[in-house]
């Protein structure tokens, strides 16, 4: 049967015509499994492209729910998702099933942790980064290197973004390139630096194309780190060199984030409707710099002394210590606290 007359292929006719994919590539996509960790801004772009491209099995993993301020850049969601208080993974899967009912879409509402991440990626052909914090990215990096899974890093903020394609055993891993976990408060977030929608769409599209090339086994993969700034009209690609023998992940195979030796940890504080979020291995932070950033982001009653910072943010009370530890009052949900910490402190 000719591809255009095959019901399983007909909807992808324009994609099959492109020589880089063809019928063989399309069938490879239909037989592929992709895990997308994070279904927010970049995650929704990634999921949208891959569902429309015909990736046969998509797994969406996200711990958050849809809020009104997401709609400016998170393309799979609408106001009904906000009023319905839908988790992002569920809302995204509902939309994608209406876009392509011929593929399998699994929605997982969960916080990605060292305890569960292997189960999310073990059967994936490619893993994609739709997250908003380096702790989770380093965890993805650890598990993908350990299991030999190619993955695509994608980060955006303000008007710029970066993406890198990682093939364990072939390219440097993310830890080789970035090094130690950035100190809490040292990395801007979209809640402190802002973000425009077009950079999300652009970087997510580049990362999705990398995933398609990996799955069909054709095309030239990004050999370095792509950096784009739409406001400055710049597009750069940086060479990364080789893998580092001293890299804890791909050089020494220690996998510190997967082994929960470093990274963000959240613990509910009994009887206080509060959660403590700690960053093991953190280099510490400047309370004065964090105070400035939080005030610019609209935090109320920001106060500091040499020992702590206290602020009212998004209806919660934050108490942050110089070692990066924070107590977040107003919730007993560890996933909510981890999301707030990533959003406003920046890990």
Active site residues: 190
For residue 232, the tally of other CB atoms under 10 A from its CB is 9
Position of tokens 């009023």?
A: 83
> Do 145 and 255 contact (CB within 8 A), yes or no?
yes
Burial of 237 (0-12, 13-18, 19+ CB in 10 A): middle
| Six token digits for residue 40 | 């927010």
> Do 213 and 221 contact (CB within 8 A), yes or no?
yes
CA angle 281-312-296, nearest 5°?
80
> Do 114 and 88 contact (CB within 8 A), yes or no?
no
């Amino acid at each position: 049967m000719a591809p255009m007359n095959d019901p399983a292929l007909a909807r992808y006719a324009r994609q099959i015509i492109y020589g880089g994919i063809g019928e063989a590539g399309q069938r490879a996509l239909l037989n592929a499994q992709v895990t997308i960790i994070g279904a927010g801004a970049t995650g929704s772009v990634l999921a949208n492209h891959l569902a429309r491209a015909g990736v046969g099995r998509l797994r969406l993993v996200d711990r958050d729910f849809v809020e009104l301020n997401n709609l400016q850049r998170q393309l799979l969601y609408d106001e009904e998702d906000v009023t319905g208080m839908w988790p992002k993974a569920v809302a995204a899967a509902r939309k994608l099933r209406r876009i392509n009912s011929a593929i399998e879409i699994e929605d997982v509402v969960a916080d990605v942790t060292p305890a569960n991440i292997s189960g999310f990626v073990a059967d994936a052909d490619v893993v994609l980064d739709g997250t908003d914090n380096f702790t989770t990215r380093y965890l993805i990096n650890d598990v993908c290197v350990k299991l030999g899974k190619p993955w695509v890093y994608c980060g955006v903020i303000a008007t710029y973004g970066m993406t890198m394609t990682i093939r364990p055993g072939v390219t440097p891993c993310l830890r080789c390139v970035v090094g130690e976990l950035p100190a809490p408060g040292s990395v801007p977030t979209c809640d402190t630096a802002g973000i425009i929608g077009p950079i999300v769409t652009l970087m997510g599209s580049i990362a999705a194309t990398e995933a398609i090339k990996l799955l069909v086994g054709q095309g030239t993969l990004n050999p370095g780190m792509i950096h784009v700034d739409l406001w400055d009209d710049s597009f750069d690609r940086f060479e990364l060199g080789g893998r580092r023998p001293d890299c804890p992940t791909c050089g020494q195979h220690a996998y510190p984030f997967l082994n929960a030796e470093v990274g963000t940890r959240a613990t509910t504080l009994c009887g206080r409707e509060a959660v403590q979020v700690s960053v093991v291995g953190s280099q510490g932070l400047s309370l004065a710099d964090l105070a400035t950033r939080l005030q610019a982001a609209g935090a109320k009653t920001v106060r500091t002394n040499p020992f702590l910072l206290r602020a009212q943010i998004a209806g919660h009370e934050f108490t942050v210590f110089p070692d990066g530890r924070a107590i977040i009052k107003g919730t007993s949900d560890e996933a909510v606290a981890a999301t707030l910490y990533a959003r406003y402190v920046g890990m």
